[in-house]
Amino acid sequence: MFPEQAIEGNVFLITTSYKGKLNGCTAAWVSRASFEPKLVTVSLSPERFTFGLIAKSKKFAIVLLPNSKIGVDLSKIFGFHSGRNYDKFASIKYFFSSLENPIPKGALAYLDCILVRKIKAGDHILLLAKIVEQKWIKKGKVLKREKLR
Ligand X SMILES: Cc1cc2nc3c(=O)[nH]c(=O)nc-3n(C[C@H](O)[C@H](O)[C@H](O)COP(=O)(O)O)c2cc1C
Q: Please tell me whether residue 81 binds ligand X under the rule CB under 6 A.
A: yes
The answer to whether 103 and 63 are in contact (CB under 8 A) is: yes
Q: Please tell me whether residue 82 binds ligand X under the rule CB under 6 A.
A: yes
Q: Please tell me whether residue 45 binds ligand X under the rule CB under 6 A.
A: yes
Q: Which single residue brings its beta carbon nearest to ligand X?
A: 79
Report how far residue 48's alpha carbon sits from residue 86's, in angstroms, rounded to the nearest whole number: 13
Among the listed residues 15, 16, 50, 57, the single contact to ligand X using CB under 6 A: 50
Residue 14: CB minimum distance to ligand X, A: 8
Residue 113: CB minimum distance to ligand X, A: 15
Residue 25: CB minimum distance to ligand X, A: 4
Q: What are phi and psi of 33, to 5 degrees?
A: -130, -25
List interacting residues with ligand X (CB under 6 A): 11, 23, 25-29, 43-45, 48-50, 75, 79-84, 148
